[in-house]
Structure 1
């Protein structure tokens, strides 16, 4: 019989095991076509770098459950300008449905005590959705688009106003600060360095919005002043990736009809995705495609 689970803060030496178990738990809940195509070494490096960044910036939000001397569950939470977010939550399959995940999540939630708002981007895992609902979150079901962009149906790239830029561009920093405050109630500017770990391409529409695009054209995050700017940014993502690549657009709640329109025009089939879970005082949450990592 295993020993009682010990819930404790993550330590640096836990990072490889915690990052690996979290990936295994999450990837089991995500359709294979939505998973990153990075090779294992790249994925491991990025996941561990992400966790160490959270240990540096949000040590109070980094928790694990230890059984018989090894981590079997993990959670990463962040606080930005009074908004709490859950970046990562996973439980090793053999230790699920034993109350361990609930205890780890409770510790991560406690990091947000006193925050005015909270966000979680959830997979379709029914047990996790139940935990979030019982923790007082409102669950907004989401769709995702996944496929190859029909470039014949897309606008001319030359007609788009959004532009690719660099991570230190003052216009990008200002947009990540001001436009993210506008839509979700908290800046993303302090996490641009974290986004850069994933080696995407930052895109800005000066004074109107910003986004980050993966190599295949998938948007990692997008926030804009209005739906017209958001459409421009999303098209800049979809058309800027590798032609013929399979990409995905996640976290399409009912508040994002502008994004659904673009996805359908691009010819991407829609499927059930999960839920954006919110609690407390946030921004309008639109036009907005949250980051699963930095929300």
Structure 2
């Protein structure tokens, strides 16, 4: 098992000599630094790829920062072998976090400090994270539009499926009067049911991630004789994750989320396999756009399923 290794990079951007990068397992002390690094890296990417009709990208909000820290410490607890850091002159310059859930490997996130990208650091830290998935039958990741990251995922054997998102002001007159019917508040006692639904929708349960999600989000469940499903909703009412055994149950859960949500809403991580969600969004007059990719290896796009950005 690789514990750590060093490699050289050309430090020419500073006019200096070649420097050594240390690749090592991530530690708890790395987590706050990694959060700031990821926010900086993704903000720079968002600004670089921003469309003219989009609002200016903003740094991560305090509540989302807290969730990121909690989630990443969870990964270190459940999957220390999937979390790696890259260090240069004692400073964190890149990292990757990944997890195994049953027979599926999942890339949660990875980033390299702006200014040091394109030097092979991201490739090496991703390769280390991929070793955590040895023996897994399937792989999942949620990718940005960054061409360099997309190239790495393709070379790693992932098929990329374009993602869509819905956003705008909800036309509440289009919401069915019975929205919320056969949907109840979920509890920890539902966890076995949730994992069963996961296996039907994406071939692997979320396992230890469900208690994490239940601590961060509102859980709603639909469990009838004709189907079962659940959704985790953020504090703003957005869908963080939705899974169901059939389309009708999934539609019921999404209608509930929209009915309970605010005037301005967004529904993210939609693939062509989940056109039912696009139909609901357009029915309430949300605008449809594209954003990133769902990367899959050894599996078809999950359905009916709206994946979580990091936990997939």
**TM-score (norm. length: structure 2):** 0.86
Deviation, structure 1 residue 275 = 0.7
Q: How far apart, in 2, do the equivalents of 1:211 and 1:145 lie? A: 17
The corresponding residue for 2:310 is 293
Query: Of 243, 246, 253, which aligns to 1:223?
Result: 243
Q: Could you say which residue in structure 1 is the equivalent of 2:166?
A: 145
Q: C-alpha deviations, 1:154-176, integer Å up to 9, x for none?
A: 1124563222223x1x2x31332
Q: How far does the alpha carbon of each residue in 1:98-147 deviate from its partner, in whole angstroms, 9 at most, with x for none? A: 11001111111111011000001111111111110111001111111112
Report the aligned-residue RMSD.
2.1
Going from structure 1 to structure 2, the CA distance change for 1:101 and 1:21 (only over 3 Å counts) comes to same
CA positional deviation for 1:27: 3.5
Match of 1:190 among 186, 208, 219: 208
Instruction: State the Cα deviation string for residues 64-112 of structure 1 (Å, max 9, x = none).
Output: 1101111111111000001000111111111111110011111111110
> In the alignment, which of 213, 217, 235 is matched to residue 233 of structure 2?
213
Partner of 1:65: 86
- Quote how far apart the aligned CAs of 1:36 are: 8.9
Q: Deviations along 1:192-229, whole A, 9 cap, x unmatched?
A: 122134x3210101151111011222110011111111
Paired with 1:248 and 1:175, the residues of 2 have a C-alpha distance of: 27
Conserved 8 A contact 2:98-2:106: yes
Separation in structure 2 between the aligned mates of residue 119 and residue 208 of structure 1, nearest angstrom: 23
Q: Relative to 1, partners in 2 of residues 1:127 and 1:283: Cα closer, same or farther, differing over 3 Å?
A: closer
- 1:44 aligns with 65
Bigger Rg, structure 1 or 2: 2
Number of aligned residues: 287
Q: Is the 8 A contact 2:180 2:252 kept in 1?
A: no
Partner of 1:103: 124
- Tell me whether 124-133 or 149-158 shows the greater mean CA deviation: 149-158
1:157 touches 1:239 (CA, 8 Å); kept in 2?
A: no
Query: Which sections of structure 1, spanning at least 5 residues, go unmatched?
Result: none
